[in-house]
A and B are shown apart, each in its own frame.
Chain A
C-alpha cells in the first residue's frame, strides 16, 4: 500500500513537471502543444548525446544546465519558425501544426538514431540504487526525478508570482489586450513561455533517462498523459497541473498495482471524464462562464 503510494507520487511528480510546461504555454498563448511528449524525447536524446562526453557511469543530472540551454534554443527555433504563426488562429491550426511537428520529430529522430531502444551507460550503482523506508523501497533515480520536478515547479510558481516577468506572463495569460495596454511586450512573453515549456519537457526527458529507454517514440505516451493532466487540473493553471500530475500518478500506480497496466490506462481516462462531468473546466479551472 505505502509502496504503491510512493510509486505513484514519484512518477506523478514527473507528470506534473511535463504538464506545468504544457499548461503554461496554453495559459499564455492558448495553444495545446500535441508534440510536448516529443520535446521530452528530444531532451532524452540531447542527454544521450551529451552523456557521451562524460566519464562513463556518471550521473546524468550534471547535464541539467546544458540540456536546459539546448532545449531553450530548440524551443526558440520551433517557435520562430512555426508556432508564432498559429497563435490566435483557432484550435484546428495549432492541432494540425503540433501534430505535424510530433510526426516530424519522431521520424527525424528515427532517421538519425534508428528505431533502437537505447539507454545511458549509467552505473548500476545509480540505476538500481534504492532507499528503504520501513519495508518499502524508493528507487533513487525516481526520487531524484520527483525531487527535481518538485523544485522546478516551485521555482516556476515563485517566478510567476514574485518576479516582474512572471507577473507580465500571468497578465498576458489573463488578457492579452490588457497586458499589451499595460506595456507588456507579449512577443517576448510568448517566446519565454514557449521556451520554458520546452525546457521543462527536456529536463523531464533528462530525469527519465536513467529510468526509461530512449527511442523515437519514447515521448508519445507522455504527450497524452500530460494533456490529460492539464485538462484535469484546469487549462493554464499551474497548481492544477501539479495536483493533476500527482493524481494521475497515484491512479496509475494503484490500478496497475492492484489490477493491471491496461486497466490503469482506463482508470486514468475515467478519472478525467468523471472530473469533467462535474467540473467542466477542470479541478482548478475558472468555472463561471462570462457572457
Chain B
C-alpha cells in the first residue's frame, strides 16, 4: 500500500484540503461559543452521512432513500444497549454495524435488482417500514417517546459523555475525515471504477463483465456500515432520539441533498454540501424563526436547491472545477497513463 512519504507528497498536492483540515482542527481553540461548535458538529455529521451516501448515490448514481434505516439502527442499538445495560457505545457500535450489514443485505439484495426510480421508491418504502416498526414496538424502542440518555456529569470517554462540546467536535470531525478518506480510497479502487461504469451505463457495464448487482450491494453495505456508526455517535451527541428525528424521510432527503447540492461523485462535494446546507437551515431558523411560523427558513432551503439545479447542476463544487483541473493537468504531466480524477 501507500508509503508515508508518498502520502506526504500527495498531501502537498491538495493545499485546499490540508488547509481546511488544519483550520478545522484549530477552530475549537478560537471559538468558545457552545452554539457555534454545535453547528460545526452538525455540519461534520451531515458531511459524514452525505459522504457515506455518496459512495453508492454519487459514484454509482443509485439514489437511495434508505440512509435513515441504517442511521437509526446505529443510533437505536447504541442508545438502547446503553440505557438498558450500560454498554459502552464503543462496543455497541460494532453490534450496530453487524445489524446494519444484515439489514443492508436484506434491503439491498432485492431492491438493487431494480432500476432507477424503482430502486429509489423501494428504498423509501424500506425506510418507512422500519420507522413504523419502531413506532409499533414501543415496549422495546420507546415508540414515539423515543429514548434518552440518563443525565450525567463529568467526562467519560468510554461512555462518550462530556461536559463540553469540544470532544464531540473532534470525534465528529475525525469520523468525517475517516469517511472521506474511505471514499477517496474507494474511488481509486476497482470498486470505484465499476461504480462509475454502472453510473454511466449499467447494461453496457454488465455486458462487459461488471457484476453490477454485487458491486452495488457492496457499495450499499459500506454505506450502511458508515451510516450506522455515524448514527451511534450522533445519538450520543444529542442524547435523545425518536423515530421522527433519526428514521424520517426528511432525514433521507437532507442526507441526499447534502451530497447532491455539494456535488455527487466527488470526494469533497458532500462536505461542501454540509457546510452550505446545515448553516443555511441554522441561520434561517435563528433569524427567521419568528417570521411566518418558521416557514421562511425552509423556503430558503428549498429555493437554494432549485437554484443549484438550475445554475450549478453538477453541484456547488463545480465552482471549484477550474482549480481542480489545474491540479489534474499537473498530475497528468507527471503520469504517462493519463489517469484522471
Residue ranges of A at the interface with B (Cβ–Cβ < 8 Å): 26, 32, 82, 85-86, 89-93, 95-97, 99-112, 114-115, 216, 224, 227-228, 231, 235, 262-263, 265-266, 268-270, 272-273, 276-277, 280-282, 289, 291
B interface, by DSSP: helix, strand, loop or mixed? helix
Judging by beta carbons under 8 Å apart, are B309 and A265 in contact? Answer: no
Contacts of B249 in A (CB 8 A): 224
Stretch at the interface among B82-90, B125-133, B217-225, B320-328: B125-133
Contacts of A92 in B (CB 8 A): 61, 63, 260, 264
State whether A104 and B299 are in contact (beta carbons under 8 Å apart), knowing that A92-B61, A99-B257, A276-B118 are contacts in the complex: yes
State whether A280 and B115 are in contact (beta carbons under 8 Å apart), knowing that A93-B313, A99-B253 are contacts in the complex: yes
Judging by beta carbons under 8 Å apart, are B136 and A108 in contact? Answer: no
The 8 closest A-B pairs by CB, nearest first: A100-B305, A103-B302, A110-B295, A104-B302, A107-B299, A269-B125, A111-B292, A107-B295
Contact among A26, A107, A227, A281 with B296 in the assembled complex (CB-CB below 8 Å):
A107
Judging by beta carbons under 8 Å apart, are B125 and A280 in contact? Answer: no
Contacts of A216 in B (CB 8 A): 295
A interface footprint on B102-138 (CB within 8 Å = 1, 0 otherwise): 0000000011011111101110111011001101100
User: How far does the alpha carbon of A95 sit from the alpha carbon of B207 in the complex, in Å?
Assistant: 29
Contact among A108, A265, A272, A282 with B299 in the assembled complex (CB-CB below 8 Å):
A108
User: How far does the alpha carbon of A289 sit from the alpha carbon of B113 in the complex, in Å?
Assistant: 13
A interface footprint on B305-341 (CB within 8 Å = 1, 0 otherwise): 1101110010000000000000000000000000000
Contacts of B297 in A (CB 8 A): 107
Answer whether residue B286 sits at the interface, using C-beta atoms and an 8 A cutoff: no
Judging by beta carbons under 8 Å apart, are B309 and A96 in contact? Answer: yes
Contacts of A102 in B (CB 8 A): 302
| Chain A residue, CB-CB nearest to B124 | A224
Q: Which of B189-227 contact A (CB under 8 A)?
A: 203, 207
| Interface residue total, chain B, C-beta cutoff 8 A | 50
Q: Which of B149-206 contact A (CB under 8 A)?
A: 203
Judging by beta carbons under 8 Å apart, are A228 and B115 in contact? Answer: no
User: How far does the alpha carbon of A231 sit from the alpha carbon of B110 in the complex, in Å?
Assistant: 16
Answer whether residue B301 sits at the interface, using C-beta atoms and an 8 A cutoff: yes
A interface, by DSSP: helix, strand, loop or mixed? helix
Residue ranges of B at the interface with A (Cβ–Cβ < 8 Å): 61, 63, 110-111, 113-118, 120-122, 124-126, 128-129, 132-133, 135-136, 203, 207, 249, 253, 256-257, 260-261, 264, 291-299, 301-306, 308-310, 313
Contacts of A86 in B (CB 8 A): 309, 313
Judging by beta carbons under 8 Å apart, are B293 and A93 in contact? Answer: no
Contact among B128, B136, B309 with A100 in the assembled complex (CB-CB below 8 Å):
B309
State whether A96 and B308 are in contact (beta carbons under 8 Å apart), knowing that A115-B293, A276-B118, A282-B118 are contacts in the complex: yes
User: How far does the alpha carbon of A216 sit from the alpha carbon of B296 in the complex, in Å?
Assistant: 13
State whether A96 and B117 are in contact (beta carbons under 8 Å apart), knowing that A106-B298, A272-B122, A273-B110 are contacts in the complex: no
Contacts of B133 in A (CB 8 A): 266
| Chain B residue, CB-CB nearest to A35 | B302
Taking the nearest CB of chain B, how far is it from the CB of A261, in angstroms?
10
Contacts of A26 in B (CB 8 A): 117
User: How far does the alpha carbon of A272 sit from the alpha carbon of B253 in the complex, in Å?
Assistant: 20
Contacts of A100 in B (CB 8 A): 301-306, 308-309
Taking the nearest CB of chain B, how far is it from the CB of A211, in angstroms?
23
| Chain B residue, CB-CB nearest to A235 | B117
Contacts of A269 in B (CB 8 A): 125-126, 128-129, 132
Judging by beta carbons under 8 Å apart, are B125 and A228 in contact? Answer: yes
Contact among B113, B125, B296, B303 with A272 in the assembled complex (CB-CB below 8 Å):
B125
Contact among B118, B132, B261, B298 with A265 in the assembled complex (CB-CB below 8 Å):
B132
| Chain B residue, CB-CB nearest to A285 | B118
Contacts of B305 in A (CB 8 A): 96-97, 99-100, 103
Judging by beta carbons under 8 Å apart, are A291 and B136 in contact? Answer: no
Taking the nearest CB of chain A, how far is it from the CB of B16, in angstroms?
25
Beyond the given A111-B293, A276-B114, could you list 13 further A-B residue pairs with CB under 8 A, ordered by the A residue number? Answer: A90-B61, A95-B120, A96-B309, A100-B306, A114-B292, A228-B124, A231-B118, A262-B135, A266-B128, A266-B132, A266-B136, A277-B110, A280-B115
Contacts of A95 in B (CB 8 A): 63, 120, 256, 260
Judging by beta carbons under 8 Å apart, are B306 and A104 in contact? Answer: yes
Judging by beta carbons under 8 Å apart, are B309 and A93 in contact? Answer: yes
User: How far does the alpha carbon of A112 sit from the alpha carbon of B114 in the complex, in Å?
Assistant: 41
User: How far does the alpha carbon of A224 sit from the alpha carbon of B128 in the complex, in Å?
Assistant: 10
| Chain B residue, CB-CB nearest to A103 | B302
Contacts of A85 in B (CB 8 A): 309-310
Interchain Cβ contacts under 8 Å between A and B, 5 examples: A95-B256, A96-B308, A114-B293, A273-B122, A273-B125
Taking the nearest CB of chain A, how far is it from the CB of B46, in angstroms?
16
Judging by beta carbons under 8 Å apart, are A101 and B61 in contact? Answer: no
Contacts of A265 in B (CB 8 A): 128, 132
State whether A111 and B117 are in contact (beta carbons under 8 Å apart), knowing that A95-B63, A266-B132, A269-B126 are contacts in the complex: no
